[in-house]
Amino acid sequence: MRRIPAVITTCAATLAFLVPAGLAAAAPAAPATPAEQAYTVVPYENVKVRQLPKKDSAALATLTAGQSYTAYCWTHGQTITDHGYTNDIWIGFADGFSSAVYFKGDQYANLPASAQC
């Protein structure tokens, strides 16, 4: 977990006090940044990184079999069946998604169940 310096915390508390209550409630929470939680995944064959978690989405890159890559989360997407495995889990990278069917490990490519996007 990322630590927040006391100065930033104090400034945030001061700003929260100065903002009218109705506006403060409407502000969305900041999403987790990729640097906060990173996991290593290894594809067992070359696999495409796609813009969205579905096989007909634009291909952005290709991951090489046996190489380690940094993943940040998993999500449900299009169900993929290949090599006798069926799964709707897609692994989230900084710029897209790849089907978990093509990664070593469990149905989440060894990401924890709590790492859902």
Cut 0.85: pTM above it: no
Alpha-carbon distance values, 26 to 8, 10, 20, 23, 63 (Å): 21, 21, 10, 5, 40
pLDDT at 16 over 60: no
DSSP, collapsed to helix, strand or coil, labels residue 91 as: strand
pLDDT in tens, 49-69: 999 999 999 999 999 999 999
What lies within 8 Å, CB to CB, of 21 at 6+ separation is: none
Residue type, 74: W
